[in-house]
Structure 1
């Protein structure tokens, strides 16, 4: 006969893990609702997320990182994407090492959110390199859409600015030897965003709508 207490012990562990997951999920859902700010007040909204991230870090760091990382990873990526987009558009300048920088480094994002980045030996809540790179890719995709919308609004200089930036970023990604399958596939898609913006710029050139000096800028 098998001792029933063995399975009772297993059930207790399962219940404990479920409770932890539910607690983390509740915080992440709050984070998800707040991570979609309207651009006009993006900086204020993003700053408000630091408290939620602090709560998430406090609870998550009490448990094995990679066991529960999937609960918050997507929303943390979305938050970092919002931070990067806001920084690219000119916000959060006080958190960048250079006001001329187009985006925030992973260290700058970690400092802004007050969380560790790329921990290798400590089992603690942190921002991974993969999450950071996926956030950058999301920003590129959004900027490609912005290039099209900018033309609609009569801003003909913006697509060139975007094109120059995402081509540089794409060149940087090509230097990486990516092992993560999802990250590798997503990064391959950057070239389509580059092509999309290049088509916009080419069309503007044909119509003589490219501002003088914009290409050099």
Structure 2
């Protein structure tokens, strides 16, 4: 009898690989689901800044820090597990959630949270990509090895989400009588918009999101312009 043309063990090997891949994806899904829950909690607490006077930010940011601590712990689990496997095979599973986690950390720091002895809390502090990596205790923009990391694109998309949130805060801060906040936000997002303009972006999604920043800038400019017309802020501050 002639030997079989196909080795019977071939499909047994393929079955084993498929089962292994399915197991990896299920584990990743569970970790990302946990991270999503922590991010949603933190976003929910942060959303209260729109109805909270600046003088009461301290207690609010304490609750935000609790949520971020859980994010940090879960990102650590994700990094430890995901780094065992090819990064670009699975990174689509967590990228959006990581972007959202990054935005909560950047916004918290901007509002004066995440303060340390070397970096005391102050309004308007912008975390760099490297700062965000230190907060989550994971590498950033890795080029020398295949492991979990935070990418430049994830950082920039998280930053754009913060710009959108700050443009909304500018309007609501005026409602709360804090005109100075609107002026500071206007200057901050104008500077960011100018910075984004010098980037040579190849990512289509990122380019589209960057285009949307001009609408946030215009929205806040209109708020500051209206305040200046009413002589509610000094002309120098408005400029």
Question: TM-score, length-normalised on structure 1?
Answer: 0.92
CA distance in 1, matches of 2:109, 2:12: 52
- 1:88 is aligned to 110
Q: CA deviation at 1:127?
A: 0.4
1:141 aligns with 2:164: yes
Q: CA deviation at 1:153?
A: 1.8
Number of residue pairs matched by the alignment = 216
1:59 aligns with 2:63: no
Query: In the TM superposition, what are the counterparts of 1:72-87 in structure 2 within 5 Å?
Result: 72-87=94-109
CA distance in 2, matches of 1:206, 1:15: 66
Preserved contact between residue 228 and residue 238 of structure 2 (Cα < 8 Å): no
Secondary structure of 1:157 counterpart: helix
Q: Which moved more, 1:10-19 or 1:92-101?
A: 92-101
Of 178, 182, 188, 1:155 maps to 178
Secondary structure of 2:138 counterpart: coil
CA distance in 2, matches of 1:5, 1:73: 36
Q: CA deviation at 1:121?
A: 2.1
Structure 1 residues 157 and 174: alpha-carbon distance in aligned structure 2, compared to 1, 3 A threshold: same
Structure 1 residues 112 and 146: alpha-carbon distance in aligned structure 2, compared to 1, 3 A threshold: same
CA distance in 2, matches of 1:134, 1:71: 16
CA distance in 2, matches of 1:10, 1:156: 64
Q: CA deviation at 1:93?
A: 2.4
Preserved contact between residue 107 and residue 117 of structure 1 (Cα < 8 Å): yes
Q: CA deviation at 1:74?
A: 0.8
Secondary structure of 1:201 counterpart: helix
1:34 aligns with 2:57: no
- 1:18 is aligned to 22
- 1:187 is aligned to 210
- Considering only aligned residues, what root-mean-square deviation do their CA atoms show, in Å? 2.0
Q: CA deviation at 1:209?
A: 2.1
Of 27, 50, 75, 2:72 maps to 50
Preserved contact between residue 98 and residue 154 of structure 2 (Cα < 8 Å): yes
Question: TM-score, length-normalised on structure 2?
Answer: 0.84
Highest Rg: 1 or 2? 2
Q: CA deviation at 1:95?
A: 8.2
Q: Return 5+ residue gaps in structure 2 as ranges.
A: 47-59
Query: In the TM superposition, what are the counterparts of 1:171-186 in structure 2 within 5 Å?
Result: 171-186=194-209
Preserved contact between residue 96 and residue 104 of structure 1 (Cα < 8 Å): no
CA distance in 1, matches of 2:237, 2:27: 50
CA distance in 1, matches of 2:76, 2:117: 18
